[in-house]
Amino acid sequence: MKSSPTIALVGNPNAGKSSLFNQLTGLRQKTGNFPGVTMDKKSGTWPIDAQYTATVIDLPGVYSIYPKSLDEQIVTDILANPAHPDYPDVSVVVVDASNLHRNLLLFTQVADLGVPTVLALNMLDVAHQQSKVVNSVRLAMSLGVPVVRINARTGEGVDLLKKAVLGQIQEPVLPGKLFFDPADEASGLIADTKTQYKLTNNYLALQYIIQHDGFSFLNQPQRKALDVIIQKHQFSETTFQAGETITRYKRIAAIVTEVVSDQRPANQPTWSQKLDRVLLHPVWGYAIFGFVLLLIFQAIFAWAQPFMDAIDSGVAWLNGQLKESLPAGPLTDLLTDGVLAGLGGILVFIPQIAFLFLLIALLEESGYMSRVMVIMDRIMRKFGLNGRSVVPLISGVACAVPAIMATRSIGTRRDRLITILVTPLMSCSARLPIYTILIALVVPSTRILGVFNLQGLALMGLYLLGLVSALLAAYVLKVLLRTKERGYFIMELPTFKLPRWNHVGLTVWESVRSFVWEAGRVILAISIVLWVVASYGPGNDMEEAEARVKQQNPTAASDALQDRIASERLEASYAGNFGHFIEPVIRPLGYDWKIGIALLSSFAAREVFVGTMSTIYSIGSGADEEGVTIRERLRQERNPETGEAMYTPALAWSLLIFYVFAMMCMSTLAATQRETKTWKWPAVQLVYMMALAYVTAFATYQLLK
Amino acid sequence: MSKRSVADLKIGERATIESFNNQLMSLKLLEMGCLPGAEVCLHSKAPLGDPICLNVAGYCLAMRKSEAATILIDN
C-alpha cells in the first residue's frame, strides 16, 4: 500500500465538507453557506499516522453525481475515472445528519461507483435540535461501510475518522452489493458497455452511457461507440435516470426509518424560516437588500478612503526617499516613476477590495446571499440573467476578474455566458480614480437640497449608468443568443448560520492576494513599458526638442523651463508618436494626442490612466498631494487651437462616459477566455464594449460641445 | 380543470407530489428530494410571487414558478 494515499471529500453543499477539510489539513480555506462556493480544486496534506500522509482533495458540493453546472462536472470526472491523477484511494462522504435522505442519495451513488468509502456523519447537533436521533451503528450495518460521527466545526470525531480511513486504505470494505444495480433493468446494455470498455462495475458502465458527452476522459470515437450501444438497446437516458433516483430514494427511506428515531414532521416553521418571511417580504425584502447594498457602497467609498490615503502617501513618501537617496539616472527613474508608481496604483485598491470581499463573505457565510438570489431572480430573468448572477454583478464593483470566476455556480450555460459578458460594465474600482479626478475637474462641489453633494451625485450616476447598461446589454444578448436550453433556478435555502471568522478572513486574504498577484503583474509590466516608451524616442528627436525649448526660452524661470522641456521631450518620444498617430481616430471624441497616450497605455489596465496623465503633464515629482496637483494641472491646460481651457465639461464627460463602457482590462479578457474556453467571447466582449464606448463618448462630446 | 401543480399552492398550503410533466426538469427535482408521494408545503414566495420556497424532504428549496408548475399534486 502506498504511503501517500489520496482522500477525496465528497458531499452536498453546506454539509460541512470544507470545515472538515480545514480540520484535517489545517490549511485554512473558505466554506460558503450557499451552494457552490468551493470552486477550485482545494487540496492539502493530512498526516494520518507515522506511516501514512494523505493528500486530501475538497471537491465541490453536489447533490448527485449527475452534474448540473461546470464546477460540478469535476466530481464525476474524478470519481468515474480510476485513471484520473486525483482518483481517491478512499472517499469520505460528508453527510448532514439533519437531512439524511437527500445526503444519502449522493452517498449511495459514490459507493456504487466502487470507491472505498467512509461516511462522516456531520451536523448531529442540528439533527438533535430537530429531535432526531441517528443510530450510527445501525447505519453502518445497513450501508456496509464505516460510519463516523463527527463535528466538522469543532473537530470532534476526527481521530475516529482517521482510524476508519486507515482501515479503508489497508483493507477496503465495500458494500456487498450495489444500492442500485442498473443491470436489473438494462442487462444487455450494461453487459455490452462493460465488454467494450473492460469495466467490472455495472454502475460505472451506466455512467459511461448516461454521461458519455460530459466525461472529459472519453474521446470522440468512444462517444460515438457509446451512441451506437444506446441506439442498439433503444435506451432512454432520462427515463432511466429518473427511475434510478426513485429507486435509490426508496432504499434510502427504508434505511432511514430503521436508523433515525423520533422524526419530527418536516414542515414546522423554525426560526430560520420565520426570518425568511421577513427577508423575502415584498417590501422588507427589497428594503433590507437595498440597505445591505448601501452598506457595501459606503464601505467601498467612505470606510476604505483613509486606508487608501495612507497607502497613497506611503508610496509617495517612499518614492521621494528613493529619489533623494539614490543617484539620479535612468535606473532610479525607472524604479521610482516606473515601477513604484505602477505598484502604488495597484496597492491603493487593496482596501476597497478587502472591504467588498469581507462583506460578500459575511453575506455568503450567514446564508443571506441565497435569499438575495431568490428575491432578485425574477428581475434578473427579464434581462436574460439568473438569480445567481447577483453575486458576480456586485463583485464587479470591486473587480471583474473574481466576479467572472464567481459565475461558475450558474448552471445554465447561456445565463452564465451573458453574466460573464456584461459583468465588466459594472464600474470596477479601477475606474474610480478616473471618475474622481475628472468629476472634480468639471462638477462643482455644491450641495443640493442641503444633503446631496453634486460631485457625489455625478459619481453615483456613473455607477448607475454602468448597472443599467449591463442590464440592457444582457437583454440584447438574451435576444441574440437564442437557445433551446431551458434556464432553471432550483436552489437549497440553507439555514442561517453565524459566520466563521477564520473562513471570512481567509476569503478576504485570498481575494486581495490574487488581485495583487494577477492584476499586479500586468500593471507593473505596463508601467515599465510605458516609462520606456515615454523616456526614449526615435533617433535623437528628444534631444533636439530639448535644445529647441532652451533656445526659444532663454530667460524662462527654471521650474517652468523644466516643465516645458519635459512636455516637449514627451511629444518627441515613442509614446508621443503613438499619440499623434491615433489622434485622428479620437479627435471626434474631443481628445488630443496626450489623452491618446493615456488611452493607449490604459488599454491593458484602466487604472494606469491617472498615472499616465501625471507622467504626461510632467508632475508628480515631489508633489505629495498628487490628486490636487494633477487636477490643477489639467485645469490650466490650454487648447492649443482655441487658447481656451482644454478640459471643458464636454471633453471631461466624453472621457468619463468612455471609461464607463470601454473594455480596458487585459486581466478581464484573460478571465473571460479562461472561463469560456474560446477566444470568441473575449473578442465579442472587447468589440461590443469598445464600440459602445466610442459611440457614446462621441455623442456626449458632440452634444455638449 | 387541469391538474393542480405546486405553482398553484397558497402560502402555508400542503400537498402531496403525484407526478411530473417535464422529464428533464424532473431529474433535477427528484434528486433534490421532490419524490412522488412526498409532502410539500409552500413556505414563502419571493416578492413578485416568483421564485417560491417550498418545504420538502425536511429542508427549504427555492425554485421558479415555471419549475414548480412541472410538479403535479394530488387535489
Residues in chain A with CB shorter than 8 Å from the CB of B45 are 280
A31 annotated ligand binder: no
Q: Using the beta-carbon criterion (under 8 Å), do B32 and A102 form an inter-chain contact?
A: yes
CATH of the domain at A76: 3.40.50.300
Nearest-Cα residue of chain B relative to residue A285: B47
| Residue A329 placed within a domain | yes
Which among A122, A142, A170 is the end of a domain? Answer: A170
Closest CA to A590 of A641, A630, A537, A541: A641
Q: Vertex A525, ends A523 and A531: CA angle to 5°?
A: 100
C-beta of residue A107 within 8 angstroms of C-beta of residue A117: yes
Residues in chain A with CB shorter than 8 Å from the CB of B23 are 238-239, 242
Q: Using the beta-carbon criterion (under 8 Å), do B35 and A102 form an inter-chain contact?
A: no
C-alpha cell at B61: 428549496
Residue type, A685: Q
Report the C-alpha gap between A11 and A411 in whole angstroms: 18
- The whole-number average pLDDT for the span A193-217 is 88
Report the C-alpha gap between A372 and A366 in whole angstroms: 12
DSSP code string of A22-36: HHHH-------SSTT
Is residue A486 domain-shared with residue A614, that is, in the same domain?
A: yes
Tens of pLDDT, residue by residue over A65-124, are 998 877 788 888 889 988 888 899 999 999 999 889 999 999 999 999 999 999 999 988
Is residue A366 domain-shared with residue A485, that is, in the same domain?
A: yes
Q: Using the beta-carbon criterion (under 8 Å), do B58 and A488 form an inter-chain contact?
A: no
Range of the domain at A277: 270-536+573-705
Map grid coordinates 442590464 to a residue. Answer: A471
Instruction: Using the predicted structure, report yes or no on whether residue A271 has a pLDDT greater than 50.
Output: yes
Report the C-alpha gap between A27 and A45 in whole angstroms: 8
Band of residue A558 on the pLDDT scale cut at 50, 70, 90: low
Is residue A316 domain-shared with residue A417, that is, in the same domain?
A: yes
Residues in chain B with CB shorter than 8 Å from the CB of A68 are 28
Rg (CA), chain B: 11
A38 annotated ligand binder: yes
Is residue A143 domain-shared with residue A233, that is, in the same domain?
A: no
Instruction: Using the predicted structure, report yes or no on whether residue A640 has a pLDDT greater than 80.
Output: no
Instruction: Using the predicted structure, report yes or no on whether residue A267 has a pLDDT greater than 50.
Output: no
- The whole-number average pLDDT for the span A307-331 is 85
Is residue A210 domain-shared with residue A166, that is, in the same domain?
A: no
Is residue A238 domain-shared with residue A364, that is, in the same domain?
A: no
Which of B23, B58, B63 lies nearest to residue A490, judging by beta carbons? B63
| Residue A175 placed within a domain | no
| Residue A550 placed within a domain | no
CB-based contacts of A525, cutoff 8 Å, min separation 6: none
C-beta of residue A365 within 8 angstroms of C-beta of residue A500: yes
Q: Using the beta-carbon criterion (under 8 Å), do A374 and B51 form an inter-chain contact?
A: yes
Report the 10 Å Cβ neighbour count for A418.
28
Average pLDDT, chain A: 83
DSSP three-state, residue A605: strand
User: CA neighbours within 13 Å on the CB side: how many for A194?
Assistant: 14
Residues in chain A with CB shorter than 8 Å from the CB of B12 are none
Report the 10 Å Cβ neighbour count for A263.
14
For residue A637, report the phi and psi dihedrals to the nearest 5 degrees.
Answer: -60, 130
Band of residue A393 on the pLDDT scale cut at 50, 70, 90: very high
Report the 10 Å Cβ neighbour count for A400.
25
Is residue A25 domain-shared with residue A43, that is, in the same domain?
A: yes
Map grid coordinates 453546506 to a residue. Answer: A14
Chain B interface, best mutation among A374, A486, A497, by max B CB count within 10 A = A374
Q: Using the beta-carbon criterion (under 8 Å), do A280 and B33 form an inter-chain contact?
A: no
B35 vs A553, higher pLDDT:
B35
Percentage helix, strand, coil for chain A under 3-state DSSP, each rounded to 5 = 65, 5, 30
Tens of pLDDT, residue by residue over A509-546, are 877 877 777 667 766 777 778 778 878 888 777 788 78
| Residue A528 placed within a domain | yes
Report the C-alpha gap between A470 and A385 in whole angstroms: 10
Tens of pLDDT, residue by residue over A464-510, are 999 999 999 999 998 898 776 677 888 888 888 888 787 788 778 87
Least confident of A191-205, A262-276, A388-402: A262-276
Nearest-Cα residue of chain A relative to residue B60: A493
Least confident of A190-204, A259-273, A375-389, A613-627: A613-627
C-beta of residue A43 within 8 angstroms of C-beta of residue A56: yes
A491: distance to nearest CA of chain B, Å? 5
Band of residue B57 on the pLDDT scale cut at 50, 70, 90: confident
| Residue A157 placed within a domain | yes
Q: Using the beta-carbon criterion (under 8 Å), do B44 and A370 form an inter-chain contact?
A: no
pTM (2 d.p.) = 0.78
Which among A170, A197, A216 is the end of a domain? Answer: A170
C-beta of residue A442 within 8 angstroms of C-beta of residue A652: yes
Report the C-alpha gap between A369 and A391 in whole angstroms: 8
Is residue A153 domain-shared with residue A283, that is, in the same domain?
A: no
- Domain tally, chain A: 3
**For the purposes of burial, counting CB atoms within 10 Å of the CB of A558, is it exposed (0-12), middle (13-18) or buried (19 or more)?**
exposed
Which of A249, A276, A489 lies nearest to residue B64, judging by beta carbons? A489
| Residue A549 placed within a domain | no
Report the C-alpha gap between A483 and A49 in whole angstroms: 54
Is residue A240 domain-shared with residue A316, that is, in the same domain?
A: no
C-alpha cell at A490: 432550483
In terms of DSSP H, where are the helices of A171-219?
187-197, 202-210
SS3 readout for A36-104: CCCCCCEEEEEECCCCCEEEEEECCCCCCCCCCCHHHHHHHHHHCCCCCCCCCCEEEEEEEHHHHHHHH
C-beta of residue A473 within 8 angstroms of C-beta of residue A422: yes
- The whole-number average pLDDT for the span A309-323 is 86
| Residue A1 placed within a domain | no
Q: Which residues of A341-377 are buried (b: 16+ CB within 10 A; e: fewer)?
A: bbbbbbbbbbbbbbbbbbbbbbbbbbbbbbbbbbbbb
SS3 readout for A619-639: CCCCCCCHHHHHHHHHHHCEC
Which among A106, A135, A170 is the end of a domain? Answer: A170
Is residue A48 domain-shared with residue A141, that is, in the same domain?
A: yes
Band of residue A630 on the pLDDT scale cut at 50, 70, 90: low
Residues in chain B with CB shorter than 8 Å from the CB of A266 are 39, 41, 55-58
| Residue A585 placed within a domain | yes
Is residue A101 domain-shared with residue A240, that is, in the same domain?
A: no
Is residue A392 domain-shared with residue A328, that is, in the same domain?
A: yes
Nearest-Cα residue of chain B relative to residue A378: B50
- The whole-number average pLDDT for the span A686-705 is 94
Instruction: Using the predicted structure, report yes or no on whether residue B75 has a pLDDT greater than 70.
Output: no
Chain B residues with at least one Cβ partner in A under 8 Å: 14, 23-33, 35-36, 39, 41, 43-48, 50-51, 53, 55-64, 67
Q: What is the enclosing helix (H) or strand (E) of A121?
A: strand A117-122
| ipTM of the complex as predicted | 0.91
- The whole-number average pLDDT for the span A272-277 is 82
Delineate the domains of chain B, giving CATH numbers in brackets.
6-73 (2.30.30.90)
Q: Using the beta-carbon criterion (under 8 Å), do A490 and B35 form an inter-chain contact?
A: no
**For the purposes of burial, counting CB atoms within 10 Å of the CB of A90, is it exposed (0-12), middle (13-18) or buried (19 or more)?**
buried
Map grid coordinates 503613438 to a residue. Answer: A578
